[in-house]
Amino acid sequence: MKSVTSGAPAKAQTIRRPIRVIRLIERFREVYPTAHCELDFTNPLELLVATVLSAQCTDKRVNIVTKDLFQRFRTAQDYADVPQEELENAIRSTGFYRNKAKSIRSMAKDLVARHQGQVPSTMAALVALAGVGRKTANVVLGNAFQINEGIVVDTHELNPKRSNKISCASCRGQIGPISAIG
């Protein structure tokens, strides 16, 4: 039985994809010339912790919580050593505080054991940390180390299963369907 494919042959698609990606990135830069990370941080560890806290929480709330948190806990060892309940109380208002506290403590223990307490600057090393996935790793790589391995998009901004359009309340119609770019 012969398989039927739609669209261009695979080789043509692989050639076209990089061109479309370049055009999409150029368009993002035109529409969002001052795009930046909304989380407040002064070092990679702070950004890593803030990004873990940002799950199901606004950046504004995370910044309120981390203002005090980053003064109390300055190193990976500090997070590794803090009692679970104490960290839970410190981050309670971010929601899902029990799981987030457990993730932060486990991630910090991994940093101490595997990386001398320093946040690594590679995707492989970051995603090997407890509680760190590709999205969190991309945020840290791009904003703390200026290494761009991917585009970070919240699930409410882009859902490829429902549409090929990028939606954003502040940019309606400015970018349009991804398929129209390239």
**Which one of the listed residues 110, 154, 161, 165 is annotated catalytic?**
154
C-alpha separations of 30 from 5, 18, 25, 34, 172 in Å: 35, 18, 9, 9, 15
Q: Is 161 a catalytic residue?
A: no
Q: Which domains occur in the chain, in start order?
A: 10-36+153-180 (no CATH), 44-144 (1.10.340.30)
Residue 20: predicted pLDDT: 83
**Which one of the listed residues 40, 78, 102, 135 is annotated catalytic?**
135
Q: Give the pTM.
A: 0.75
- pLDDT by residue (tens digit) across 71-97? 999 999 999 999 999 999 999 999 999
Backbone angles phi, psi at 58, to 5 degrees: -80, 150
CA nearest 51: which of 109, 127, 125, 115? 127
Residues 136, 107: contact at Cβ < 8 Å? no
- Token look-up 């990606």 returns 21
Q: Is 109 a catalytic residue?
A: no
